Structure 1
């Protein structure tokens, strides 16, 4: 991509440009924001470094690139972490600057910045990029600062200290010193006082005088003045004011930069003084006629649970020819949106979205429709996390789109949405986030084996993709101060149905060696549940996608008494009904995996294999999917779910996820499956009226190419269950 680099004069913005080159991008322009008054060295800004701005103008000649510069007219008006477009804010100066760069150089598609740890700065750069249709590149984001400092010095960043404001750094001793000379001192101060070795806490600022990108000249500082801002005896604050400097030209080098661009034609200064034009993009409204054309939209709503509910929506009309993915998805999302509105809710209440489509070839089209409904503007606390896979929907009588959403009637949640491309973890460029924390449960988006800085699938096949997907998941978990190896509740692995038997075995063995053997169960007491689901296709043609659910306890690791006193079923109530339990109970250990955490969370996977189905249907040899046999299968699954809840003192009201995956190889229509499960749960309620208070649990039937607790197991039906007694109140940030 062609890139405009935001430069402040500091080491970070320069090294970020070098990283852009490392990953094949081409920096074609520089952009810099400076104080309105040349005599001012430093602004009271949360966003911009301006110390040393007098020298940054020389970067154009040093690099042979055009420099676009704007004087900062705004101030810090919106101090919230998540930026909202605010007239007069200093962020709008960046917007005006980059708008002009884009106007003059239309080929630019990305913006480079040197953000390392500041969410405040990253989110504002991402906001501006989103408004301008540009990609944010933040290759230093979340990098180990010690390693980063060492790499900057090793790769030839020559920078001097131009501001100090921390314990252990003195204006008289350290201003004007080269970064390389202070490395050992900075590391020592980090060990003694915990300062950020790259200055991310405002401990110091730098000015780059030379680096490999300066192909034409280096900067020589001839004279400077130390200005003391604070003479505090513990942590003095001082800056270095450049007074005299000159450029020392380098001999031409073919190894750096693009030799085809001459200094005369490119190293020019563009002053950007245009007024700021505010653009508030109107959200597209879907025509009601499209929705009204669908007279038979299946809608599944869960009313159980104190704070959570789920909605699954699909097109259910086998006799009707589909109008196509776009029309189907518009109809489904519109129906969900209407249901949310009826409940006094909106998309901001949605925690997670499962987007199932009939063809991954139309993934781009599906995203276009998706972003017309779910936007940053509608979700002021952050957009929901999401996973997307292809399913054989049409084969079972569904339309071409099926959407399942998890909803909270509260709006307390913490969302991680990093849109910048970085070395940290894959970006989410669009209205879906890496992870959403609600209560003490972290719902993570599906993670592919993508190389974060290039956003390309790693080579090496399914096992290599799995290992990188786990690494990416761990990076996201670390952002919430947890780990997939110590905090996992449930782990779902989507696999391509195209994998061979040997590849499936390798995936399972890799997961065992890379994941399961590293699990730390000391906090939870048991292993998390594990489920493999096979899909016809995954995004980007991936072989594997992982979707962890994690337990993130709050500082106050207690639960309110009112939460614990939920009326729960007793196991004896089930054991008393011999007609349901005589056969089913003996199969419990072989078909169920259960994981509980402190009586608050229960995760389970129920695996119904062909052998078990033959037993419960009293069939020898071949299994026929008659109405009676489907009913028996569904009754077995319903019984196991209820028994798991009862044994662990949970009720139906605590269910937050209940999903039944079934293989389309068995040629059973989805509506037949729904009828069978509906009858099974109805009978269960009638036979156990004291057990099953309230409404029957609502579930989703998901047609797949295969599923099981093992990658090599072909279940007839696999049940995925999550129950919780906690709400967002237990872990407010």
Structure 2
């Protein structure tokens, strides 16, 4: 990609540019924001480093690149973590600057920044990039600061301190010193006082005088003065004010840089960007769909709603027997999302209440189209607390009469959630460029988006096949979990593992072995945690042609010990009547619990997987003639209901505590989706269910058609049941 780099003069923005080149991008322009008054060294800014701005103007000649500058006229008006477009805010100066650069250089598609740990800065850069249709590149994000400092010095960044503001750093002794000189002292101060060795807490700021990117010249600081900003006896604040400097020409520049692609003849020009530019947000240019008109084309929509508790419920929606006027995926997905949106409105809710979205489509070849439709409904503007997490896979929907799109959403009545949505491409974990987040925390349960084996800095699938993808997807999931203070190896409740239908039997077994061995290794090392429930699902295709995708659900205990340890009461009292079970139990008495996985956490959370294989099915059915018939499926449904109820009762959970109940069935068994739905509905009706999780006495669930599923990678289940219950 062609990149414009945000430069402040500091070491981080320069090293971020070097990382861009490492990953094959091309720096074509520089962008810098400076004070209105040249005599001012530092502004009271939450966003920009301006100390040393007098020298940054030389970067154009040093690098042979055009430098665009704008004077900062705004201030920090919106000081919330998530930025909302605010007139007169300093972020709008960045927007105007980048808007003009994009106008003059239309080929630019990405913006580089040196953010390491500041969510405040990262989110604002991402906001501006999103509005301009640019990609945010933040290759230093979440990297170990000690390792970063070492690498910056090792790779030839020569930077001096131009501001100090921390215990152990003195203006008289440490201003103007090179990083290499201060490295040992910074490490010592980190050990003694906990300061950030890269200065991410504002402990110090730097000015880069030379680096491998400076192919034409280096900067030599001839004279400066030290200004004592705050004479605090513990942590005095001092600033270095440049008085005189010159450029020293570099011979044989191509040998120094090692890549002459960033050098452009006659391009080291300075452009002053002034005045206002009309906002030309990409979001406003998106195609507007007409959900009502399109939805009217298909009126036969089966909308399922479950309220399995007071605070959480799910909505599953799909096209049942699509009408002949359906125009394919776009029409079906618009219809489904419209119905869900209308249902949310009827409940007095909106997309802001949605925690998670399962997006099932009939063809991954149309993923781009599905994403376009999705983004016309679910936007950051509609989700003030953060956009929901999401997973997307291809399933054989049309084969069983479910149209081209199937959407299931998890909804919370209250607007309380914590969302992690990193849109910048970095070395930390795969970015989520668009309205879906890496993870959403509600209560004490973390719902993580589907994770692929993507190399974060390149966003490409890693080589090495299925097991390599699984290993990297686990690493990516761990990075996301760490951001919430937990680990997938000690906190996982449940793992849903999607496998591509293109895997061989041997490759599936290798995936299962790799997942199992990874868990055993980590649990043996940590002596904490326990093995979660696991369900494998065979998908026709996965995004980007991946072999494996994992979707973890984690338990993240509250920091409030009083809440975490209090005794909780079950919500409601759903149980099956004794009469209903009296005729069922003997039939299943010779079947042990080997078909069940159950994982509970302190009586607060229960995850379960029920696996109905051919062997179990033959024991349940009275005659082989019924095998794979509707009557056969009803017998299997009765067994699932029996096991499900027993799990709830044995672990002191009720129906009202269930937050998710999903049945996967193999389309190889020629039973239509509407038949499966009816069979399970009739079965649950026999149990005389009560509580709020019902419709006319029948518990609500979602039926998902798959190529195959199972508790092992062999995926030989006829039916797999996936349950999650929570009292938190």
TM-score, normalised relative to structure 2: 0.96
**Residue in structure 2 matched with residue 481 of structure 1 by the alignment:** 485
Show the 5 A alignment for 1:420-459: 420-459=424-463
Show the 5 A alignment for 1:598-677: 598-620=602-624, 624-677=627-680
**Residue in structure 2 matched with residue 730 of structure 1 by the alignment:** none
Is 1:165–1:202's contact at 8 Å kept on the other side of the alignment? yes
Query: Are residue 683 (structure 1) and residue 686 (structure 2) matched?
Result: yes
- The Cα shift of 1:289 comes to 1.8
Structure 1's 575 and 678: CA in aligned 2 closer, same or farther, altered over 3 A?
closer
**Residue in structure 2 matched with residue 237 of structure 1 by the alignment:** 237
The separation in 1 between residues aligned to 2:322 and 2:354, in whole angstroms, is 29
Greater CA deviation, 702-711 or 519-528? 519-528
The runs of 4+ residues in structure 1 deviating greater than 6 Å are: 260-263, 520-525, 688-694
**Residue in structure 2 matched with residue 88 of structure 1 by the alignment:** 88
- The Cα shift of 1:322 comes to 4.0
Structure 1's 259 and 298: CA in aligned 2 closer, same or farther, altered over 3 A?
same
- The Cα shift of 1:23 comes to 0.0
1:567-617 deviations in Å (ceiling 9; x for gaps)? 44679x659933111222442411111001111110000000011111111
1:374-405 deviations in Å (ceiling 9; x for gaps)? 00000011000000000000111110000000
- The Cα shift of 1:303 comes to 2.3
The separation in 1 between residues aligned to 2:36 and 2:676, in whole angstroms, is 69
Show the 5 A alignment for 1:351-430: 351-430=355-434
**Residue in structure 2 matched with residue 731 of structure 1 by the alignment:** none
Count of residue pairs the alignment pairs up: 723
Show the 5 A alignment for 1:427-576: 427-519=431-523, 526-557=530-561, 558=563, 563-568=568-573
| 2:240 alignment partner, SS class | strand
1:104-135 deviations in Å (ceiling 9; x for gaps)? 00000000000000000000000000000000
Is 2:306–2:694's contact at 8 Å kept on the other side of the alignment? no
Is 2:606–2:724's contact at 8 Å kept on the other side of the alignment? yes
Structure 1's 277 and 669: CA in aligned 2 closer, same or farther, altered over 3 A?
same
Structure 1's 520 and 478: CA in aligned 2 closer, same or farther, altered over 3 A?
farther
The separation in 2 between residues aligned to 1:221 and 1:692, in whole angstroms, is 75
Query: Are residue 314 (structure 1) and residue 314 (structure 2) matched?
Result: no
- The Cα shift of 1:167 comes to 0.2
**Residue in structure 1 matched with residue 712 of structure 2 by the alignment:** 710
Structure 1's 169 and 254: CA in aligned 2 closer, same or farther, altered over 3 A?
same
| 1:485 alignment partner, SS class | helix
1:259-285 deviations in Å (ceiling 9; x for gaps)? 477666100000000214234644735
The separation in 2 between residues aligned to 1:482 and 1:681, in whole angstroms, is 37
Query: Are residue 273 (structure 1) and residue 274 (structure 2) matched?
Result: yes
The separation in 2 between residues aligned to 1:695 and 1:428, in whole angstroms, is 40
- The Cα shift of 1:38 comes to 0.3
The separation in 1 between residues aligned to 2:623 and 2:325, in whole angstroms, is 37
The separation in 1 between residues aligned to 2:275 and 2:158, in whole angstroms, is 34
| 1:399 alignment partner, SS class | coil
1:225-246 deviations in Å (ceiling 9; x for gaps)? 0000111111110010000000
Is 1:32–1:67's contact at 8 Å kept on the other side of the alignment? yes
Query: Are residue 59 (structure 1) and residue 59 (structure 2) matched?
Result: yes
Show the 5 A alignment for 1:284-363: 284-317=288-321, 320=324, 322-363=326-367
Greater CA deviation, 31-40 or 588-597? 588-597
Show the 5 A alignment for 1:19-58: 19-58=19-58
- The Cα shift of 1:476 comes to 0.3
| 1:39 alignment partner, SS class | coil
The separation in 1 between residues aligned to 2:190 and 2:149, in whole angstroms, is 12
1:658-716 deviations in Å (ceiling 9; x for gaps)? 00001111111101100110110000117x99999994321110000111110013100
- The Cα shift of 1:527 comes to 2.1
| 1:28 alignment partner, SS class | strand
- Unaligned 5+ segments in structure 1 are 727-733
The separation in 2 between residues aligned to 1:108 and 1:595, in whole angstroms, is 50
- The Cα shift of 1:288 comes to 1.7
| 1:530 alignment partner, SS class | strand
Structure 1's 207 and 574: CA in aligned 2 closer, same or farther, altered over 3 A?
farther
The separation in 1 between residues aligned to 2:620 and 2:648, in whole angstroms, is 21
| 2:345 alignment partner, SS class | helix
Structure 1's 206 and 608: CA in aligned 2 closer, same or farther, altered over 3 A?
same
- The Cα shift of 1:304 comes to 2.7
The separation in 1 between residues aligned to 2:711 and 2:160, in whole angstroms, is 57
The separation in 2 between residues aligned to 1:502 and 1:650, in whole angstroms, is 39
The separation in 2 between residues aligned to 1:570 and 1:679, in whole angstroms, is 16
Structure 1's 264 and 361: CA in aligned 2 closer, same or farther, altered over 3 A?
closer
| 1:604 alignment partner, SS class | strand
The separation in 1 between residues aligned to 2:461 and 2:343, in whole angstroms, is 37
Is 1:570–1:691's contact at 8 Å kept on the other side of the alignment? no
- Unaligned 5+ segments in structure 2 are none
The separation in 2 between residues aligned to 1:420 and 1:260, in whole angstroms, is 24
Is 2:26–2:261's contact at 8 Å kept on the other side of the alignment? no
Is 2:575–2:654's contact at 8 Å kept on the other side of the alignment? no
**Residue in structure 2 matched with residue 250 of structure 1 by the alignment:** 250
**Residue in structure 1 matched with residue 599 of structure 2 by the alignment:** 595
The separation in 1 between residues aligned to 2:211 and 2:526, in whole angstroms, is 49
1:464-507 deviations in Å (ceiling 9; x for gaps)? 00000000000000000100011000011100011101101111
TM-score, normalised relative to structure 1: 0.95
The separation in 1 between residues aligned to 2:421 and 2:107, in whole angstroms, is 27
| 1:313 alignment partner, SS class | strand
| 2:511 alignment partner, SS class | helix
The separation in 1 between residues aligned to 2:525 and 2:387, in whole angstroms, is 31
The separation in 2 between residues aligned to 1:205 and 1:543, in whole angstroms, is 45
- The Cα shift of 1:639 comes to 1.3
Is 1:296–1:315's contact at 8 Å kept on the other side of the alignment? yes
| 2:606 alignment partner, SS class | strand
| 2:583 alignment partner, SS class | helix
The separation in 1 between residues aligned to 2:526 and 2:394, in whole angstroms, is 37
The separation in 1 between residues aligned to 2:265 and 2:502, in whole angstroms, is 56
Is 1:114–1:138's contact at 8 Å kept on the other side of the alignment? yes
- The Cα shift of 1:515 comes to 2.6
Is 1:358–1:391's contact at 8 Å kept on the other side of the alignment? yes
Structure 1's 556 and 17: CA in aligned 2 closer, same or farther, altered over 3 A?
same
